[in-house]
Amino acid sequence: MSVFVPAAELRERIHSGKNQAVIAALWEPEEGKAWSTFQSEHIPTAMFCDPPMTLAGMPGRRAGRNPMPTVDILLKAARSWGVEKRHPTYIYDTGNGVFAARAWWMLRWLGVEDVHIVDGGWAAWDKAGFETVAGPGNVAVFADIEPNPGALPTATIDEVKEFTGLLIDARGANRYSGRRELLDLKAGHIPQAVNLPVYDLFDGETQQVKEVDYIRERFSRIGVTQNTAPAGAVAYSGSGNHSALLLAAMEHAGLPVVTHFIGGWSQWAGDRANPVATDL
């Protein structure tokens, strides 16, 4: 099944009374704003996900801006959202898809397989004129899932330091080249990394995923095809969000989902001893 699904598919499931978990992965820079946004309007049956609290651990120079959360925190959150092995899970956000993708990757890493991202997120639902509801959402009913932490591969910073294979940087070209950096301590990229900006794979206006053939062709330029991927290939971004979106697009296109260096550039740049490459 596709990773990215149209908003109409989720609406049809909700209207037909089918069982699924719906997660609103919302983030706002102002504290408490995301919860207020959710309460004012959200997709029916959706449960609120606070990405900094449930999809990331404690930030720091050594670990990066959005390190992995503990298994206990993620599992407790997944159960509270109603995620179950026997029912699909649908995730959306109100931005450009990175927080929905972060939640998608985290659940897949936890061992949940039937997980989907609403293509175009909240904007697609709203543009279609589909029904919305207000309030705090459904009463949380803890669901029983069978966790399998580590179901998707990850790489530590020490492993990346020793890595000599294909390293994919999912950030925009300006950050990769070292021309612009507003978030992390250094500008540039990990030596040997190749740049595939994740937003090349999405429509800039609708934030919807591009055609599968285009995604496959774009990855073929760096040696990744449906049947082959360089051994142990690794993807990273600033702190695991944009790279999660890249991995979601790969699975959507039927490509092998490569290893995730979730600490990303924020963790790499946090150590002054690590080498930095630029295109300047």
CATH architecture of 157-269: 3-Layer(aba) Sandwich (3.40)
Q: Does domain 4-127 have CATH number 3.40.250.10?
A: yes
Query: Which 8-state DSSP code applies to residue 29?
Result: S
pTM (predicted TM-score): 0.95
Query: In this predicted structure, what is the pLDDT of residue 241?
Result: 97
Mean pLDDT, range 141-160, rounded to an integer: 90
The mean pLDDT value for 206-216 works out to: 97
What is the pLDDT averaged over residues 34-53? 96
Give 84-143 pLDDT, tens digit per residue.
Answer: 988 999 999 999 999 999 999 999 999 999 999 999 999 999 999 999 999 987 776 777
Q: What is the pLDDT of residue 227?
A: 75
Can you tell me the mean pLDDT for 198-213? Answer: 96
Q: Which residues contact 173 (CB under 8 A, 6 or more apart)?
A: 195, 197
Judged against a pLDDT cut of 90, whether residue 67 lies above it is answered with yes
Average pLDDT value over all residues in the chain: 94
pLDDT for the residue 32? 87
Same CATH topology for 4-127 and 157-269: the answer is yes
139 near 206, Cβ under 8 Å? no
| Confidence check: pLDDT of 156 > 70 | yes
What proportion of the chain, given as a percentage, has pLDDT over 90?
87
Residue 169 pLDDT greater than 90, yes or no: yes
Q: Would you kindly state where each structural domain of the chain is located, as residue ranges? A: 4-127, 157-269
| DSSP structural state of residue 200 | G
Is the pLDDT reported for residue 8 higher than 80? yes
Could you report how far apart the first and last alpha carbons of the chain are, in Å?
42
- pLDDT range class, residue 145, cuts 50, 70, 90: confident
pLDDT at site 231: 67
Give residue-wise pLDDT tens across range 219-252: 999 999 887 766 679 999 999 999 999 999 999 9
Strand, helix or coil for residue 159? helix
Strands (E), the chain: 4-5, 21-25, 46-49, 89-92, 115-118, 167-169, 194-195, 234-236, 259-260
**Looking at the predicted structure, is the pLDDT value of residue 164 above 70?**
yes
pLDDT value at residue 266:
97
Instruction: Give the CA count within 13 Å in the CB-facing half-sphere of 249.
Output: 33
